[in-house]
Amino acid sequence: MRSLLGLILCGLLAGLCPLVGADWPAWRGPDRTGVSKETGLLKTWPKDGPKLLWQSSKAGQGYAGLAIVGGVVYTMGAYKDDEYIMALDDKGKQKWSTKVGPVLDWGANRWSRGPNCTPTVDGDRVYGLSSMGELICVNKADGKPIWRLNLPEKLGGEVNPLGGGFEKGNLKLGWGYSWSPQVDGDNLIIAPGGPKGLLAALNKKDGKVVWRSKGVTDQATYSSPLLATIGGVKQVLYITQTSVVSVSAKDGELLWQHRPEEPYSDVVCPTPIARGDMVYISVGYAGASGGSEGLKVSAKGKKFSVEQVYKKRVIGNRQGGVVLVGAYVYGFHEENSWACQNFATGAVAWPKKAVRRQTPGSVVAADGRLYVLNEQGTVAMLAASPKAYQLISEFKLPKQSKSRKERGHIWTHPSLSDGKLYLRDQELVFCYQVK
């Protein structure tokens, strides 16, 4: 009788609370790793790819990623001379859009135009960042602004200009703000950069400053901050142009810092990976500082120290990101091939001669597979296995944007939610059924 009552109760609850697939509420998913916990996904795809559920041409210009909550897509894009934060419904139709600020552009820019931030969805609010540093919090239901904060104007924010970029008077914006904010309890973690402090925590309800990392005053890069707990202490990790830094998530005090042999020779984009007491860094482009590093962080009382476990010219990653699956890291290496290395030791798992030369791409992972979108619009499924490089399936996006600048490529990372793979090329968004 008790079992029967239990079954009836479960049935009633299921009717009241239908099962919801895993959301992808922010940059690189719910925990900023680029790895989804979803299972039961397709093991292979048809020759022309999985079923295309919908496509939209309403996202505007830009490389902003896609956050998905309850089947609704939240992203950012530029229309004419302004940047917007927006929501697309589960059919790809625009629910709302809210102007954030003007587009950052200049005559010598042949690569990008529009916002690069992936919105962060938290409860009934959505947080976004324009390329010129206008941070905005809007209502999730209708996009109405709740608060705004201009980082250069109010916080003295600066972006590193290495490799070119926009600089006018006191306004130092490089290629534009590109990181994505991260929620930490009641706080919103951001990276304004500049002499008043590289990192900051804001009260997520009203945007007021809680703390600033006054001991770390580097300019912001294009990497996003990462929350991690090491040695029992919650901290914020960030890759600057000259070092890897960690500050306390409680008050912004510097905990530890690691400087490579040379400053990174070009723009810094990838987000770090942290597991246990190990931190993994991947930075692309040529030079002694490029490649990957494994750092071991030790805590003794309230003091931290860091040592380099390995430094290898493996997975020198530019824009595409890296993922940690099991004991191995996967990502695109600047020498034009996908690569795999042991997270703890840095040992190479896939010999170069066994991997064909390819076009660079972005990656996320789920269910023992790597989902890859390359710069030319080819979508591939690879085995997430250190045993060998294995291409399982691939197809081409049915359409490509004509609004990209002449030197721009497809650089928006894939997103995965509720058995659906979301891909973006500027104004075009594609939703595929992969379960």
| Strands of 152-208, DSSP E | 166-168, 171-174, 182-184, 187-190, 200-203
Identify the pLDDT of residue 170.
Answer: 87
Identify the pLDDT of residue 26.
Answer: 98
Q: Per-residue confidence at 13, pLDDT binned at 50, 70, 90?
A: very low
Element (H, E) at 257: strand 254-258
Q: What is the pLDDT of residues 80-128, one digit of tens each?
A: 999 999 999 999 999 999 999 999 999 999 999 999 999 999 999 999 9
The answer on pLDDT for 17 being more than 60 is: no
Tell me yes or no: is domain 21-433 CATH 2.130.10.10.
yes
Question: What are residue 383's DSSP bridge partners?
Answer: 369
The answer on pLDDT for 53 being more than 60 is: yes
Give residue 106's identity as a one-letter amino acid code. W
Q: Per-residue confidence at 354, pLDDT binned at 50, 70, 90?
A: low
Q: Per-residue confidence at 19, pLDDT binned at 50, 70, 90?
A: very low
Q: What is the pLDDT of residues 144-194, one digit of tens each?
A: 999 999 999 999 999 999 888 898 888 999 999 999 999 999 999 999 999
Q: Cα 141 vs. chain centroid, distance in angstroms? A: 23
Q: Per-residue confidence at 339, pLDDT binned at 50, 70, 90?
A: very high
Identify the pLDDT of residue 260.
Answer: 87
Q: What is the pLDDT of residues 270-293, one digit of tens each?
A: 999 999 999 999 998 756 567 899
The answer on pLDDT for 20 being more than 90 is: no
Phi, psi of 192 (to 5 degrees): -65, -30
Whole-angstrom CA distances from 185 to 36, 119, 123 are 22, 17, 11
CB 137 within 8 A of CB 144: no
The answer on pLDDT for 8 being more than 60 is: no
For residue 25, what is the DSSP state? Answer: -
Q: What is the mean pLDDT of the chain?
A: 92
Angle, vertex CA 320, rays to CA 405 and CA 47, nearest 5: 90
For residue 87, what is the DSSP state? Answer: E
Q: Where are the domains of the chain?
A: 21-433
368 against 12, higher pLDDT: 368
As a whole number of angstroms, the distance between CA 196 and CA 119 comes to: 25
